[in-house]
Structure 1
Amino acid sequence: MTTTSAPPATTSRLVRALAATHFVGRAGGVVRSFLVLYLTQAQHLSPATAGGVVAAVGLGDVGSQVLGGWLGDRIGRRNTMLAGFLGSAAALVALGSADSLPGIWVAAVAAGLTLELFRPAGSAAVADLPARQRIRAFGVLYWAANLGFSVATVTAGFLARYGYGLLFWINVAASLAAALLVWLQVPETRPAGTVRTRQALLPVVRRDRLMLAMLALHAAYFTLFLQTFTTLPLLMTAGGLGPAAYGGVLALNGIAVVALQPLAVRLLAGRHGPTVSAVSMLLVGLGAGLGALSHGTAAFAGSVLLWTLGQIGIAVRFGDTFAALAPAEVRGGYLGLASATWSVGAVLGPLAGTALLEQSGAPGLAAGCALGGIVLFTAQRALGPALHRRKP
């Protein structure tokens, strides 16, 4: 059995179709933001138990990234995305209808393993494109996903007034709609012959020291970046600012990403990738550090805009960087491991940020974030020559 990669004429269609699935999936992803409220208010779980269920979904994300990449190499990018969207629809139905704690736990784990399954498979499909087309294609996917996320954050709070059940059904409908888009519009892109020549992923990765170094680097980066979403509201509350101010400041992040991402792709696509990533990591560290020392809404908004610029820079080069490292026969697995660094950061970031804030206060958090940015900048620059040698 072999599969053929998409011909050049289908490239634009592929990117548009993938962007549409990312947008629909994210725009309809309204359950997760309100899951803890559903569990405590509708299911009457204790805050600690509800937090554990939400954490189970988050930990499932880590597995889903690796599983999605592995399946993409085994059963194809298209089939993996279909399995992810259809599986997440079923898991959300189960989670929304479960009336016992064991049932909730099982459904939460299933949701964690399926909700993000499409992402590494979609990234692998873009990585199958010619190298010169990848950066712009990855940029389009990232932009579409963030636009969808912005839609979800705006609408979820309004829709929740009509009951949490509505959120579940909207999310299920979005997953099914995304699956239909994949079925009708997304061709298979897995390179011909990779089924016959496939290799076990982990032995290949263990021998690839550069890949291991990049995985560690990006796990550290996402830990630094994602802690901001936990420490920022705490810092603003301590400064006497309420939820409305936090929501307004955080909205700047989504607005800036949607507005600036296309421009960033055009400006940075031809730049030296490791330098773009290094400077971006430094901006995130400095922006997060500035936020820890801020007082007043304007100062917090400035810090968010600073680390958002770094976030955009990382997004422009992230997929292309790991695609260039990946052997064709395990490309999906490599992209899955790369995506898993985000999930690892989502678990470690809130723990590290809040612990540092509690132990050292705002000045200690500021110093830690700034130092983290400097260390990441230095490490990324040091890996630059090796990355250049691996460039296809």
Structure 2
Amino acid sequence: MSAVAVESPAPAALPRAFWALWVCQLVNRLGSFVQPFLVLYLTHDRHLSAGTAGAVAAAVGAGSVAAQLSGGWLADRVGRRLTMLICFFGTGAALILLGSARSMAMIWVTAFLVGLLGDLFRPAVQATVADLLEPGERVRAYGLLFWAINLGFSVSTVSAGVLASVGYGLLFWLNAGTSVIAGLVIWAMVPESRPAPEAGVPHRPLLPVVLRDTVFLLMILLQIGYATIYMQGYSTLPLAMADDGLPSSTYGLVIALNGVVIVLIQPFLGKWLVKIDRPKLLAVSMLVVGLGFGIGAVVHTWWGYGVSVVVWTIGEIGFAAVIGAVFADLAPIDLRGRYMGLAGMAFGVGTVVGPLTGTNALEHFGPTVTWLGCAVLGVVIFIGQYSLAPALHARAAANAATA
């Protein structure tokens, strides 16, 4: 089977289990009230210092990174469905515990658990889509999931601000409730999709396979590089806009364009993206994100930064639609969940590296060098990703033949 995406079928052709995953993602994100307001809750209701609250938020992030590996392992060993059920029901419990925690020890532990349990589902969902759909259908499917996530999150961030005025405790209970609802959707409508292991064939360990997989390791490096650029939108951009004399409220409006563009444009771009060669689309998308941030080197007004956000958001749409499909084509079938987990962990590493490098570059070298550096890194990633296209096509064809 060719690794080049083909014309997607009509929406009704996608299986019922996929649409259940879509609903699950939407519901889960509609209730994502706690994380955006966690620091405010800890400083206002728990009277913690800003530094301590930030460290607690980092504990959530650490749990999220750990979830990628553990979620991938669970998806391959105990099954995709059970992993997602553990995630959603466990997250509901962890959120209630975090909202009622009084001691710092309990806050630290439950914050880590919220991150860990809350992101266990990611490798399982990615692997389930690859299990359910043929390679030619995956780009459209991953794009639809990406759209559902952003639609839900856009609504939740607005409604959370209103709900927080009533009381932060309500955010924890509602977030936990939507997590449980998402789990019930999985329990009722999503069957186990993990390919049955061959009789008499032992489970392969991940590390020896990965260390010999040069193509995958290079993809991991490119993923870290992309995430490093992408995270500038949430770390360096607000500082650069403040240095230009723009208030924080203006940054809020400018970054909101990201969600608006995704919700409005992605469904229309998705029909076109499925027709494009996947590895090359991924390369171009990474380049567009780098160049979009590079625009920051020559703008100093709110509308200039707005143009920058719109450009890199278009690149993000292409990246998000195709990255899961590319890793699904690349992964050995019996290690699919763990490969997806490693890919997610690589992005998590970039979310740590990005803010550190971007903010330090801004402080020591200034905005022009920082934003041009993003553009240069985007070009480097583009070249690397484009060069990997033949190897990715060969691996996709080999995996398709094995399946």
TM-score normalised per structure 1: 0.95
Alignment RMSD: 1.5
What are the within-5 Å matches in structure 2 for residues 147-162 of structure 1? 147-162=151-166
Post-superposition Cα deviations, 1:91-145, rounded to whole Å, max 9, x if no partner, equal 1111111101111111111111111111110110001122122111111111111
What are the within-5 Å matches in structure 2 for residues 12-51 of structure 1? 12-51=15-54
What are the within-5 Å matches in structure 2 for residues 282-321 of structure 1? 282-321=287-326
1:102 to 81, 102, 105: 105
Q: Which residue identity is paired with 1:22?
A: Q
Q: Is the 8 A contact 2:27 2:152 kept in 1?
A: yes
Post-superposition Cα deviations, 1:39-73, rounded to whole Å, max 9, x if no partner, equal 11111111111111111111111110111111011
Counterparts in 2 of 1:351 and 1:195: CA distance versus 1, 3 Å: farther
2:236 match: 231
Q: Could you tell me how far apart the structure 1 residues matched to 2:235 and 2:350 are?
A: 12
1:60 match: 63
Post-superposition Cα deviations, 1:340-377, rounded to whole Å, max 9, x if no partner, equal 22222222211111111111111111221111111111
Q: Which residue identity is paired with 2:375?
A: A
- Deviation of 1:338 (Å): 1.2
SS of aligned partner of 1:391:
helix
What are the within-5 Å matches in structure 2 for residues 365-380 of structure 1? 365-380=370-385
Residues 1:337 and 2:379 aligned together: no
2:259 match: 254
Q: Which residue identity is paired with 1:63?
A: A
2:180 match: 176
1:146 match: 150
Counterparts in 2 of 1:45 and 1:200: CA distance versus 1, 3 Å: same
Pairs aligned (count): 384
- Deviation of 1:265 (Å): 2.0
- Deviation of 1:241 (Å): 1.8
Counterparts in 2 of 1:323 and 1:196: CA distance versus 1, 3 Å: farther
Q: Is the 8 A contact 2:76 2:336 kept in 1?
A: yes
SS of aligned partner of 2:15:
helix
1:163 to 152, 167, 170: 167
Q: Could you tell me how far apart the structure 1 residues matched to 2:205 and 2:28 are?
A: 30
Counterparts in 2 of 1:221 and 1:194: CA distance versus 1, 3 Å: farther
Q: Which residue identity is paired with 1:359?
A: H
- Deviation of 1:11 (Å): 4.6
- Consecutive unaligned residues of structure 2, counting only runs of 5 or more, are 1-11, 398-403
Q: Is the 8 A contact 2:28 2:178 kept in 1?
A: yes
- Deviation of 1:339 (Å): 1.6
Q: Is the 8 A contact 1:91 1:110 kept in 2?
A: yes
2:90 to 76, 79, 87: 87
What are the within-5 Å matches in structure 2 for residues 190-201 of structure 1? 190-193=194-197, 197=201, 198-201=203-206
Q: Which residue identity is paired with 1:160?
A: A
Post-superposition Cα deviations, 1:212-252, rounded to whole Å, max 9, x if no partner, equal 11011101111111122111111222222223221211111
1:4 match: none
- Deviation of 1:88 (Å): 0.9
Counterparts in 2 of 1:51 and 1:194: CA distance versus 1, 3 Å: farther
- Consecutive unaligned residues of structure 1, counting only runs of 5 or more, are 1-8
SS of aligned partner of 2:235:
helix
Q: Could you tell me how far apart the structure 2 residues matched to 1:179 and 1:202 are?
A: 31
SS of aligned partner of 1:344:
helix
Q: Could you tell me how far apart the structure 2 residues matched to 1:272 and 1:105 are?
A: 45
Q: Could you tell me how far apart the structure 2 residues matched to 1:385 and 1:189 are?
A: 29
Q: Is the 8 A contact 1:280 1:313 kept in 2?
A: yes
SS of aligned partner of 2:194:
coil
SS of aligned partner of 1:154:
helix
Percent of pairs identical after alignment? 50
